[in-house]
Amino acid sequence: MPSAPVHNAAALVDTPKGQSGRPSKALTADQAAAVLKAARDSRLGAYVVLCLLTGVRTEEARALRWDHVDLNGESIAVWRSVRHGGDTKTAKSRRTLGLPQAVVEALREHRVRQDEERLAAGELWKQEDLVFATTVGTQLDAANVRRSFGSICRAAGIGEGWAPRELRTSFVSLLSASGVPVEEIARLVGHSSSRTTEVIYRKELRPVLVKGAEVMDQLFG
């Protein structure tokens, strides 16, 4: 008797097209805590804290200017990126975010360090008002960020192979694991649709996926 055909459930999902490569992963809560601790000793530690605790894209963090940061009001205006033309990825990506206290403190310490670097650089300093810059004030490139993040990951003891973009997927996953509705997460990360958040970014799906089993147990258990 012939065996029943095996269906690939993934084939039923209409996923957005993208570049091929390693799928993103997400930090667990324990790993995230280790990264935050290790970031304290890094020159770009505030960059990592900001991306992990607010979900901003690395391309948005690299373009962030101090005039878009309100440390007294504890918010940032995410209106720019390093994409061609300087605009954010989509219209809904332009958003103003409240900052967790840990981010406010990290940015204040970072600003003091940057003021010291400005004085040390003297006439070499390029005044571009960037929050995250090189030691002479110019824009960071992706390689700068990858190297710094790699060092932080090694110090945190979470292993190799992590990419800065996974700070964002970790933010989404940690919120999801805490029961935050996917629609609210989509607004926080600037997605034009919650489907993007659901299909691509969220790595921890237990809070949603166990709901069906819980209801069925109540009905028939």
Q: Indicate which residue of 47, 62, 165, 201 is catalytic.
A: 201
Catalytic member of 89, 95, 187, 195: 89
Q: Which two tokens stand for residue 72?
A: 């007294």
- What span, in angstroms and rounded, lies between the C-alpha atoms of 196 and 207? 18
**Residue 68: active-site member:** no
Q: Which two tokens stand for residue 55?
A: 């979900």
Cα(164)–Cα(64) distance, rounded to whole angstroms? 16
**Amino acid identity at 81:** S
Read off the tokens for 120: 């040390």
Q: Which of 80, 165, 191, 202 is catalytic?
A: 191
Q: Is 154 a catalytic residue?
A: no
Distance of CA 197 to the CA centre of its chain: 13
* Active-site annotation holder among 57, 80, 202, 203: 57
Quote the CA–CA distance of 107 and 113 in Å, as a whole number. Answer: 10
Catalytic member of 80, 110, 165, 168: 168
**57: annotated active-site residue:** yes
Catalytic residues: 57, 89, 168, 191, 201
